[in-house]
Chain A
Amino acid sequence: MKIINLLRSTFFLTTLLGLSCCHVTEKTPRENTIADGTHKDKLIQKPYVTNPARINQDTTFKLYHLEHDTLFIGKQYPPEGFKMKSNTSTYFFYQQESNESKAKVESCFRPDRLEILIQNRSSLFLNVYLDQAGIVQEVEIKINDRDKIYISEEEIKCICNNLKGLKIPIPSELSHFPFVKMSQSIRFKNFISPTR
């Protein structure tokens, strides 16, 4: 019995030690990444949390953004203490900026990868956060779980980085906000197929 107990304790301690080592092993590269300064490209994925009293989404999706993008993402919107000057906004088509944005998204995909998105009628929904000058500072991407299999993390990171710096006119009703959130729907079926 004593031998069995001894073996059991030994097994337990060995397992514990092993797990501990694994943990360190896994953690080390991540710390190295941070030390390398490439941590900015780490992706954060979170499920969209809804208030069931206000919205009931009938699809499953997640929101993605770069880890260090926390200046505006995750903050209350509209910014605390700021109200719109009216409840309508005279903005309408910012087509030039919208097309520029689509081109930046498109550039993140190799032709064969883009073709897959077109064929599968995939889509993205972008939330861009603008500073007071109308410059995109941070990007959040909503991807339906159905479409996630067609888009890699590297491509998501590329989109987040590519869109930064794009200038979009801020509607006058929101011009006093410290930051502004704008959205864009990207539907790949409308893209020109690279194989045609």
Chain B
Amino acid sequence: MKKILLFLVLFLNLFPLGFNFEKGEMLFPGSLYGQYQGVEGECINGYMTCDCDGWILFLDCSDPGTIDCQCIDSVIITPPSDFTCPICGQDPCVCGYYDPCSYGSPDYSDCACLGINCDYGGCDPSSPYYDECTCLGINCDDGGGDGGGGDGDDTNDGIYNFDTSNLSTTAQEKFDTTIEELEQNCFLQQLLSSLDSISIRMDSTINAEAGYNPSTNSVIYKDESKINAYNTTGEMFHAYQDTFYGNYLDDLGALAPGRSNIEFEEKFAGLLARVIAGSYFAEIESLMGVGQWIDDLISNNNEEFPSSFTPEQSTQYMIFLNNFREWNATNPAGDPRYATPVDPNLPSYPAAVIEIINNSTCYENN
């Protein structure tokens, strides 16, 4: 996250511009001018996040402690008449959402998108242009290795459409054991059964424990030790979202609006699976209260997760989603992808989760 912020900080310091933003989007330093309001934020590890009346600012800072956020008046920012974005080449130029891995982007590069030794957007973590999205290969053509969509020859056990032919024997065994663990849960069993063909791969260069590539329908693990129930559930759920929401994920940049909707629903699904299983789960700040709320939803609906949400439940869901975004925007351990603006075009309820649970066997005996 620090590297991404560093990239943004450096980038915008090089190009001091003004943008016309929507409130609720992330703003970045170096480009802002106007009336300062003097709200304070905490400088941690050289970065600080400020919530300026709903505008989230990322600033670099040199000294630990409390520092003036320099929040701007929310009306001012207007680009100069001769303004063009020198790198993004997009209008409006929202560089925070710029995804170099999208075909047609001015800086699209197979090299960068494959994360192989390259200058721009490389995967060297010390590079100021280091980009987790790029290194994860999200929205990238995988350079000729395409077509690994699972032809059925090496599916793990014939029940699901998993192509595990690229895995070593030990990795394959670990994957199978993990799938067996997930199968014990009626919700996750339905999730696995609902998936289209998925290729299972290993890639030590990805900058995450695991990822899902919607362009190649691949679940990717960084190494064998990362094949576990948590990572597998999360990435398989993203794979389901990829089908459920049409091509939405294919075109979704790492920092694009809507990324937070997608990620929050995945966390929600994981918590629901745990509540259904009656297994212990830890309270974590960004999801505080969500597990208990899921328990309430079931308790108040004759022990079944609701098949649709009331307006009040949708409102509460969005409150939790915004808490999740806020925590990730304002905490050093937060992930900027989880802090992206909500996409109002996506449902204000966990639509993919509800679809799975409605088709599951969880409540057959009710």
Measured CB to CB, the residues of A under 8 A from B are 53-59, 61, 77-78, 83-95, 97-98, 101-102, 121, 123, 125, 127-128, 142, 144, 147, 168, 170-171, 173-174, 180-187, 189-190
Would you call A54 and B319 a contact (CB within 8 A)?
Answer: yes
Would you call A171 and B282 a contact (CB within 8 A)?
Answer: yes
Would you call A182 and B315 a contact (CB within 8 A)?
Answer: no
Closest B residue, CB atoms, query A127: B283
| Total inter-chain residue pairs, C-beta < 8 Å | 136
Would you call A55 and B280 a contact (CB within 8 A)?
Answer: no
Would you call A184 and B292 a contact (CB within 8 A)?
Answer: no
Of residues 271 through 295 on chain B, the ones whose CB sits less than 8 Å from some CB of chain A are 274-275, 277-286, 288-289, 291-293, 295
* Distance in Å: Cβ of A98 to nearest Cβ of chain B: 4
Would you call B312 and A58 a contact (CB within 8 A)?
Answer: yes
Of the stretches B5-13, B168-176, B332-340, the one at the interface is B332-340
Would you call A123 and B299 a contact (CB within 8 A)?
Answer: yes
- Give bound CA distance, A78 to B322, whole Å: 19
Closest A residue, CB atoms, query B334: A87
Chain A CB within 8 A of B156 CB = no
Would you call A182 and B280 a contact (CB within 8 A)?
Answer: yes
- Give bound CA distance, A53 to B303, whole Å: 27
Of residues 302 through 343 on chain B, the ones whose CB sits less than 8 Å from some CB of chain A are 302-303, 312-313, 315-316, 319-320, 323, 327-328, 331-335, 338
Contact residues in A for B302 (Cβ distance below 8 Å): 121
Chain A CB within 8 A of B228 CB = yes
- Give bound CA distance, A173 to B315, whole Å: 30
- Give bound CA distance, A185 to B278, whole Å: 5
Contact residues in A for B193 (Cβ distance below 8 Å): none
Would you call B296 and A59 a contact (CB within 8 A)?
Answer: yes
- Give bound CA distance, A89 to B274, whole Å: 13
- Give bound CA distance, A182 to B334, whole Å: 21
Would you call B283 and A77 a contact (CB within 8 A)?
Answer: yes
* Distance in Å: Cβ of A149 to nearest Cβ of chain B: 15
Of residues 248 through 283 on chain B, the ones whose CB sits less than 8 Å from some CB of chain A are 267, 270, 274-275, 277-283
Would you call A92 and B233 a contact (CB within 8 A)?
Answer: yes
Contact residues in A for B291 (Cβ distance below 8 Å): 183, 185
Known contacts A55-B289, A102-B278; A89 and B284 CB within 8 A of each other: yes
Most buried by A among B184, B267, B284, B319: B284
Q: DSSP majority for the B interface?
A: helix
Known contacts A92-B230, A121-B303; A97 and B282 CB within 8 A of each other: no
Would you call B319 and A123 a contact (CB within 8 A)?
Answer: no
Contact residues in A for B284 (Cβ distance below 8 Å): 84, 87-89, 173-174
B-side interface residues, number (CB < 8 Å)? 51
Q: Given B231, B275, B288, B335, which contacts A90 in the complex, CB threshold below 8 Å? A: B231
Contact residues in A for B278 (Cβ distance below 8 Å): 98, 102, 184-187, 190
Would you call B285 and A93 a contact (CB within 8 A)?
Answer: no
Would you call A83 and B280 a contact (CB within 8 A)?
Answer: no
Contact residues in B for A93 (Cβ distance below 8 Å): 181, 184-185, 229, 274, 277, 279
Would you call A182 and B228 a contact (CB within 8 A)?
Answer: no
Closest A residue, CB atoms, query B363: A189
Q: 19 other contacts beyond A58-B300, A87-B286, A183-B281, with CB at 8 A cut-off?
A: A54-B319, A56-B315, A56-B319, A77-B283, A83-B331, A85-B333, A86-B333, A87-B327, A90-B209, A92-B233, A92-B279, A98-B280, A102-B278, A142-B292, A182-B280, A183-B282, A183-B292, A184-B281, A185-B298
- Give bound CA distance, A57 to B230, whole Å: 28
- Give bound CA distance, A92 to B303, whole Å: 22
Would you call A57 and B293 a contact (CB within 8 A)?
Answer: yes
Contact residues in A for B233 (Cβ distance below 8 Å): 92
Contact residues in B for A147 (Cβ distance below 8 Å): 299
Closest B residue, CB atoms, query A180: B282
Contact residues in B for A183 (Cβ distance below 8 Å): 280-283, 291-292
* Distance in Å: Cβ of A186 to nearest Cβ of chain B: 6
Closest A residue, CB atoms, query B267: A88
Would you call A87 and B285 a contact (CB within 8 A)?
Answer: yes
Contact residues in A for B275 (Cβ distance below 8 Å): 185
Contact residues in B for A171 (Cβ distance below 8 Å): 282
Closest B residue, CB atoms, query A123: B299
Closest B residue, CB atoms, query A57: B296
Would you call A84 and B285 a contact (CB within 8 A)?
Answer: yes
Contact residues in A for B332 (Cβ distance below 8 Å): 83
Of residues 335 through 354 on chain B, the ones whose CB sits less than 8 Å from some CB of chain A are 335, 338
